[in-house]
């Protein structure tokens, strides 16, 4: 009881801002807080690692190949003597960049289609059928197909790594926008009936400005939640493609690729699959917890309880 009163005092104290309240609620979800710390820790490690770590990810040192964990190589070395830790960092850079870029693309697509479908009644039916159609596509087979078909022309025109990056981001982006579009559409439909939108329309605000000024800021929270889940989904999909050998070129480390390389040595060096696998799982797990906490924190019905 005492606790509840205290919460309400915090909530309704004159100095509280929207994001302040969200932060207060978010802090209470211990798993989400830990998830956020781990996720940002991974990002910082991956971004700053190459500047601090002495080994190059592709530097071959045959004399120190197939080593177990030691002080010099905390994660050991692979069959060519490359330092596994530096390869995990390099792989993380690719995987997380792909995750962020693909999430951004799918978010833009999903928000755009969701807002248009929710706001313009005439387009609603056809856009939602379109979304349903995309939801019933066999995504993994189609992604594999796209990788296989378009990898060579894009490699020729943009170079092997950049071409693959564009292809993967594009492929994941266009196959993962549907849940965002559905959630956004639902929220826009509800918002459209609210007084402030009707008031804005009654004074002759053009549709475009209503959407930008009144609708978009109010659907920020579902978009943020789908953004976190989108990163997790994109990282898993990219790793799955690389794992199946249809992602980045073989000498270019990503987490899925490293896992795929390690599987060949499963019988002799079973510990080698752990590092990339743990990196993927820890990242995705921390993002999922972060998303869970964000969903609770951004929901005003739950906040303050």
Structure tokens at 208: 């475009």
Task: Give 31 or 81: the residue with its C-beta nearer to other proteins.
Answer: 31
Q: Binding of other proteins at residue 114 (CB under 8 A)?
A: no
Q: For the chain, where are the E strands, in sequence order? A: none
Shortest separation between residue 186's beta carbon and other proteins, angstroms: 16
- For the bound state, the minimum distance from the C-beta of residue 230 to other proteins, rounded and expressed in Å, comes to 14
Q: CB atoms < 10 A from the CB of 113, how many?
A: 23
Show the site string, 132-171: x = touches other proteins by CB under 8 A, - = not.
Answer: xx--xxxxxxx-xxx-xxx-xx------------------
Asked if 258 interacts with other proteins (CB under 8 A), we say: no
CA distances from 45 to 37, 102, 116, 167, 244 (A): 12, 21, 39, 26, 27
Least distance in Å: CB of 181 to other proteins?
17
Would you give the DSSP letter of residue 252? S
Position among 262, 290, 294, 298 found at the interface with other proteins (CB under 8 A): 262
Could you tell me if 60 and 99 are in contact, meaning their C-beta atoms sit under 8 angstroms apart? no
**Binding status of residue 270 toward other proteins by CB under 8 A:** yes
**Site track for other proteins across 66-105, x = CB under 8 A:** ----------------------------------------
**Span of 104-112, 182-190, 207-215, 255-263 interacting with other proteins by CB under 8 A:** 255-263
User: Among 252, 262, 85, which Cα is nearest to 168's?
Assistant: 252
Contact 170, 96 (CB under 8 A): no
Residue 12 touches other proteins, criterion: CB under 8 A: no
Q: Does 16 bind other proteins (CB under 8 A)?
A: no
Helix, strand, or coil here: 83? strand
CB of 263 to other proteins, least distance (A): 5
Rounded CA-CA distance 275/236 in Å is 15
User: Minimum distance from CB of 139 to other proteins (Å)?
Assistant: 7
Q: Among 266, 300, 302, 305, which residue interacts with other proteins (rule: CB under 8 A)? A: 266
Interface with other proteins, residue 34, by CB under 8 A: no
Between the alpha carbon of residue 94 and those of residues 43, 102, 166, 213, 287, the distances in Å are 11, 12, 12, 35, 17
Distance, in Å, from the CA atom of 248 to the CA atom of 154, rounded to the nearest integer, reads 12
Question: Helix H segments across 54-159?
Answer: 84-119, 121-135, 139-158
Residues in the chain: 305
- Which residues contribute to the site for other proteins (CB under 8 A)? 31, 132-133, 136-142, 144-146, 148-150, 152-153, 232, 236, 239-240, 243-246, 256, 259, 262-263, 266-267, 270, 273-274, 277, 280-281, 284-285, 288-289, 292
């Amino acid at each position: 009881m005492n606790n509840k009163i205290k919460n309400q005092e915090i909530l309704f104290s004159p100095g509280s801002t929207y994001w302040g309240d969200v932060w207060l609620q978010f802090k209470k979800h211990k798993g989400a807080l830990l998830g956020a710390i781990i996720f940002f820790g991974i990002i910082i490690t991956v971004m700053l690692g190459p500047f601090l770590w002495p080994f190059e990810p592709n530097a071959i040192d045959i004399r120190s190949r197939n080593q177990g964990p030691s002080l010099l190589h905390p994660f050991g070395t692979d069959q060519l003597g490359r330092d596994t830790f530096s390869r995990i960092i390099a792989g993380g850079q690719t995987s997380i960049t792909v995750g962020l870029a693909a999430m951004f693309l799918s978010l833009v697509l999903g928000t755009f289609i969701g807002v248009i479908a929710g706001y313009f009644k005439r387009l609603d039916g056809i856009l939602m059928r379109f979304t349903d159609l995309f939801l019933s596509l066999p995504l993994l087979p189609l992604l594999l197909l796209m990788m296989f078909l378009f990898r060579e022309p894009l490699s020729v025109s943009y170079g092997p790594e950049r071409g693959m990056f564009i292809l993967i981001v594009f492929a994941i982006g266009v196959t993962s926008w549907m849940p965002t579009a559905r959630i956004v559409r639902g929220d826009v439909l509800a918002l459209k009936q609210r007084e402030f939108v009707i008031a804005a329309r009654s004074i002759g605000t053009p549709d475009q400005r209503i959407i930008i000024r009144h609708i978009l800021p109010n659907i920020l929270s579902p978009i943020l939640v789908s953004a976190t889940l989108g990163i997790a989904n994109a990282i898993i999909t990219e790793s799955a493609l690389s794992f199946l050998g249809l992602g980045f070129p073989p000498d270019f480390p990503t987490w899925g690729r490293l896992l795929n390389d390690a599987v060949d040595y499963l019988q002799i060096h079973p510990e080698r699959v752990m590092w990339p696998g743990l990196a993927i799982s820890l990242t995705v797990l921390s993002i999922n917890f972060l998303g869970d906490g964000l969903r609770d924190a951004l929901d005003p019905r739950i906040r303050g309880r």
